[in-house]
């Protein structure tokens, strides 16, 4: 093998602290200006963009929800017509699931996981840049179509035959299907990056039992993405084929089957719920430690519960299809498995309660959101056990009871921990603290507003109010409750506005944050707030599961990495023994070109199958440009 190293020794062993930092800053920097912004592969910059974009989509989806609540506030309301209403509830669901919930969890991981495992960048950082552009393009496609009054109107799960060629005229269902392709592509890319980062880039000594629980949660989530998202890509692709080139997957007249769609969709769709929930559970397990001021109770049980939930999540999908007329035995099996998943969820809840019980709780905003989460999620879990039973589900299927249930588990189970996490990691990301006063106000407004808005929906559902209706007649007994719900939603909206206000204000003029303002034990707090481009001047050497709680004034680190090329440590899978000083790719504009070429191909293919043939050529060219070696020091071996 040819040794490529020529010239002076550029390893960091003998460098002074300030010179080491200066040299690393030069090697890892993102240049100022537009070109630098477009070409950056820094996981922190991309993670920040991802988080911000996802919150913009949350706000947009929230506006749609508010519109629906105005429309439903009284019977025979004429604000929104039936066609626009169909678009609005479809957009609300698709936007919240595909453009907000899944991306925001992955976005938090893109930012935090490399810091928490003590490395300098995510694995495959250019793929990371590519995934963000693809995500942005998918979101833009959906919202531009809405602006043009041609948004999908077939529900977020786009059941056939409604979305098929016979009933779904125009291009609305195709836009839904292609938005799926965009978002799943970006989600799968991030999942691969996370798996490899967690497997191979952990700091030396961070054995499997020393990985922070949030990182474990993201590992399990990434595997769920990898195993579940191909199902929705198969589904959406076959739907487009049915609509564009006349295949018959979902046409019963020619041997196809409409229930096939439901199977494929929910084989993805149920794990999807845990793709959203598991990161939130991981956030709670990690955040609870500094606020309970003790290590989380039952580390092994928490990790095993995450893995068990992940495995069980693939055995539940039929509980979305209880009224579709499947064999009794199948229904019974899926009732049992749906109830079984309450066990790992319960284990985690008892671990968190145990942690708080034995700790000295500090009731800062993040902990308030954790407690709000536990309360709300338990209610959502209980109604989950209720709808897992076939007779009960048959009664409330497609009613507001189900709407109430999944908002309890998704907002209570995922958004509450996420908001807590934003307050918690905000100082790390921005270098400034969020206001505690505004934080507490926003928590109480959101918590009270949420429960007042969504709890009555259980009752509306039991009273028989169906989902997805754009209005109802005055003789139905739903009027008073709907008005109450709509008025309560004002409190919820006020809480979210206060949260956004707090975040924007604090980012500009919040109190400066120390490196570790919460006295937390994990590695992201061992570096500056916000972290420098290279994350750690020297890679930490880990010898316990709470590295910053051992001897909080001294951090054990490793030396010997080069400073003239982007270098990080690759370690072994189980014991995290150092294996190589691996290069990490430099900034590159090619991921953007590749994303643009992919976007052109995917949108063109809504209109013509030949797009796949001709559109692949520019994609291939951009990928070659991306991977062709540029003779930088990173290419040395």
Partner 1 sequence: MKERVTLDLSKLPLHGMGTASVTWWGTLAFMLIEGTGFVLVLAVYLYLMSLAAIWPIDAPKPDLLPGTLVTLILLASLVPNVLMSRWAEQQDLRKIRIGMVVMSLFGVAPLIVRIFEFPALGISWDANAYGSIVWTLLGLHTTHIMTDLVDTLVLAALMLTRHGNNARRFGDVQDNAMYWNFVVATWLPIYGCIYWIPRL
- Report the 10 Å Cβ neighbour count for 294: 18
Q: Which of residues 488-527 bind partner 1 (CB under 8 A)?
A: 515-516, 526
Q: Which of residues 605-634 bind partner 1 (CB under 8 A)?
A: 620, 624, 627-629, 631
Pick from 66, 385, 459, 583 the residue near partner 1 by CB under 8 A. Answer: 583
Q: List the structure tokens of 438.
A: 């505004």
In contact, 211 and 547? CB cutoff 8 Å:
no
Pick from 196, 378, 438, 490 the residue near partner 1 by CB under 8 A. Answer: 196
**CA distance linking residue 604 with residue 583, whole number of Å:** 37
Residue located via tokens 């630098």: 36
Is 556 among the residues that bind partner 1 (CB under 8 A)?
Answer: yes
**CA distance linking residue 324 with residue 316, whole number of Å:** 15
631 by Cβ neighbours in 10 Å (0-12 / 13-18 / 19+) ranks as exposed
In contact, 421 and 366? CB cutoff 8 Å:
yes
Pick from 8, 33, 170, 255 the residue near partner 1 by CB under 8 A. Answer: 255
Q: List the structure tokens of 388.
A: 């897992």
Q: Which stretch binds partner 1 (CB under 8 A): 158-166, 234-242, 295-303, 591-599?
A: 234-242
Q: List the structure tokens of 118.
A: 């003590």
In Å, how far are 235, 278, 451, 613 from 379, measured between CA atoms?
Answer: 32, 17, 10, 51
Closer of 92 and 126 to partner 1 (Cβ):
126
Pick from 188, 301, 452, 490 the residue near partner 1 by CB under 8 A. Answer: 188
**CA distance linking residue 455 with residue 465, whole number of Å:** 14
**CA distance linking residue 405 with residue 633, whole number of Å:** 54
Pick from 234, 483, 596, 611 the residue near partner 1 by CB under 8 A. Answer: 234
User: Measured at the alpha carbon of residue 284, what is the angle toward residues 280 and 287, in degrees to the nearest 5?
Assistant: 130
255 by Cβ neighbours in 10 Å (0-12 / 13-18 / 19+) ranks as exposed
Q: Which of residues 587-606 bind partner 1 (CB under 8 A)?
A: none
Closer of 22 and 501 to partner 1 (Cβ):
22
Closer of 110 and 537 to partner 1 (Cβ):
537
**CA distance linking residue 226 with residue 190, whole number of Å:** 10
- Closest separation in Å from C-beta 167 to partner 1: 18
Closer of 316 and 418 to partner 1 (Cβ):
316
391 by Cβ neighbours in 10 Å (0-12 / 13-18 / 19+) ranks as exposed
Q: Which of residues 4-63 bind partner 1 (CB under 8 A)?
A: 4-5, 11, 13
Closer of 516 and 545 to partner 1 (Cβ):
516
- Closest separation in Å from C-beta 190 to partner 1: 11
**CA distance linking residue 186 with residue 190, whole number of Å:** 6
Q: Which of residues 204-223 bind partner 1 (CB under 8 A)?
A: 204
Closer of 70 and 226 to partner 1 (Cβ):
226
Closer of 341 and 619 to partner 1 (Cβ):
619
Q: List the structure tokens of 298.
A: 């039952």
Pick from 241, 304, 340, 469 the residue near partner 1 by CB under 8 A. Answer: 241
Q: Which of residues 107-126 bind partner 1 (CB under 8 A)?
A: 123-124
Q: Which of residues 427-486 bind partner 1 (CB under 8 A)?
A: none
- Closest separation in Å from C-beta 17 to partner 1: 8
Q: Which of residues 563-582 bind partner 1 (CB under 8 A)?
A: 569-570, 572-573, 578-582
Q: Which among 610, 633, 589 is positioned nearest to 129, based on CA atoms?
A: 589
- Closest separation in Å from C-beta 3 to partner 1: 9
Pick from 238, 355, 587, 605 the residue near partner 1 by CB under 8 A. Answer: 238
Is 557 among the residues that bind partner 1 (CB under 8 A)?
Answer: yes
Pick from 95, 121, 181, 251 the residue near partner 1 by CB under 8 A. Answer: 251
Pick from 75, 161, 230, 517 the residue near partner 1 by CB under 8 A. Answer: 230
Contacts of 144-147 with C-beta under 8 Å, sequence gap 24+, read 145/172, 145/175, 146/87, 146/91
How far the first Cα of the chain sits from its last, in Å, is 9
Helix/strand/coil for 540: strand
Number of residues that bind partner 1 (CB under 8 A): 77
Q: List the structure tokens of 374.
A: 């536990």
- Closest separation in Å from C-beta 201 to partner 1: 7
**CA distance linking residue 13 with residue 312, whole number of Å:** 48
Closer of 71 and 251 to partner 1 (Cβ):
251
- Closest separation in Å from C-beta 567 to partner 1: 8
Pick from 115, 134, 179, 191 the residue near partner 1 by CB under 8 A. Answer: 191
Closer of 93 and 125 to partner 1 (Cβ):
125
Closer of 50 and 199 to partner 1 (Cβ):
199
Residue located via tokens 């209706």: 469
Q: Which of residues 261-290 bind partner 1 (CB under 8 A)?
A: 263-264, 267
Closer of 2 and 78 to partner 1 (Cβ):
2
Closer of 332 and 637 to partner 1 (Cβ):
637
- Closest separation in Å from C-beta 431 to partner 1: 16
Closer of 398 and 635 to partner 1 (Cβ):
635
**CA distance linking residue 529 with residue 158, whole number of Å:** 44
In contact, 174 and 240? CB cutoff 8 Å:
yes
**CA distance linking residue 95 with residue 58, whole number of Å:** 8
Q: Which of residues 520-549 bind partner 1 (CB under 8 A)?
A: 526, 537-539, 541
Pick from 206, 374, 492, 561 the residue near partner 1 by CB under 8 A. Answer: 561
Closer of 230 and 361 to partner 1 (Cβ):
230
């Amino acid at each position: 093998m040819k040794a490529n190293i020529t010239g002076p020794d550029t390893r960091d062993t003998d460098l002074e602290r300030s010179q080491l930092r200066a040299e690393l800053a030069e090697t890892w920097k993102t240049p100022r200006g537009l070109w630098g912004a477009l070409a950056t592969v820094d996981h922190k910059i991309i993670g920040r963009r991802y988080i911000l974009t996802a919150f913009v989509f949350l706000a947009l989806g929230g506006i749609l929800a508010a519109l629906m609540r105005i429309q439903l506030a009284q019977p025979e309301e004429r604000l929104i017509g039936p066609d626009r209403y169909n678009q609005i509830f479809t957009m609300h669901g698709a936007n919240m699931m595909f453009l907000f919930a899944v991306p925001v969890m992955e976005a938090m991981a893109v930012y935090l996981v490399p810091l928490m495992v003590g490395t300098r960048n995510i694995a495959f950082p250019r793929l990371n840049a590519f995934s963000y552009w693809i995500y942005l393009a998918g979101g833009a496609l959906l919202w531009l179509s809405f602006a043009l009054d041609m948004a999908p109107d077939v529900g977020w799960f786009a059941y056939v035959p409604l979305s098929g060629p016979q009933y779904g005229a125009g291009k609305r269902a195709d836009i839904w299907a292609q938005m799926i392709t965009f978002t799943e592509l970006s989600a799968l890319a991030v999942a691969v990056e996370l798996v490899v980062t967690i497997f191979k880039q952990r700091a030396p000594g961070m054995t499997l039992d020393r990985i922070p629980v949030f990182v474990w949660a993201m590992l399990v989530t990434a595997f769920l993405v990898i195993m579940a998202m191909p199902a929705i890509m198969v589904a959406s692709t076959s739907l487009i084929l049915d609509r564009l080139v006349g295949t018959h997957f979902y046409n019963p007249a020619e041997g196809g089957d409409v229930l096939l769609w439901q199977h494929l969709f929910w084989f993805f769709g149920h794990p999807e719920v845990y793709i959203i929930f598991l990161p939130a559970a991981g956030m709670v397990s990690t955040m609870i430690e500094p606020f309970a001021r003790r290590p989380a109770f039952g580390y092994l049980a928490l990790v095993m519960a995450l893995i068990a939930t992940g495995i069980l999540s693939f055995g539940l999908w039929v509980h979305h299809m209880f009224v579709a007329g499947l064999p009794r035995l199948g229904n019974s099996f899926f009732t049992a498995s749906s109830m079984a998943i309450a066990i790992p969820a319960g284990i985690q809840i008892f671990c968190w309660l145990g942690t708080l019980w034995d700790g000295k709780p500090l009731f800062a905003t993040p902990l308030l959101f954790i407690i709000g989460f536990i309360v709300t999620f338990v209610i959502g879990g209980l109604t989950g056990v209720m709808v897992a039973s076939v007779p009960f589900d048959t009664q409330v299927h497609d009613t507001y009871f189900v709407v109430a249930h999944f908002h309890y588990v998704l907002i209570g189970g995922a958004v509450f921990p996420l908001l807590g996490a934003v307050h918690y990691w905000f100082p790390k990301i921005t270098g400034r603290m969020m206001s505690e006063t505004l934080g507490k106000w926003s928590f109480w407004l959101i918590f009270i507003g949420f429960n007042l808005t969504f709890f009555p929906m259980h009752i509306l559902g039991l009273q028989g109010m169906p989902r997805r209706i754009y209005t109802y007649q005055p003789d139905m007994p739903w009027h008073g409750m709907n008005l109450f719900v709509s008025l309560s939603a004002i409190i919820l909206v006020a809480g979210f506005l206060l949260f956004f206000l707090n975040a924007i204000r604090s980012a500009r003029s919040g109190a400066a944050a120390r490196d570790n303002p919460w006295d937390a034990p994990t590695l992201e707090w061992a570096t500056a707030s916000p972290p420098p481009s290279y994350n750690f001047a020297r890679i930490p050497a880990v010898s316990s599961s709470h590295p910053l709680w051992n001897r909080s004034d001294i951090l054990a680190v490793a030396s010997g990495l080069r400073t003239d090329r982007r270098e990080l440590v690759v370690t072994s899978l189980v014991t995290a023994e150092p294996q190589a000083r691996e290069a990490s790719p430099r900034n590159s504009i090619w991921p953007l070109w590749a994303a643009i070429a992919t976007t052109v191909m995917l949108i063109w293919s809504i209109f013509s199958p030949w797009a796949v043939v001709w559109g692949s050529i520019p994609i291939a060219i951009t990928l070659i440009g991306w991977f062709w070696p540029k003779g930088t020091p990173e290419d040395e071996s």
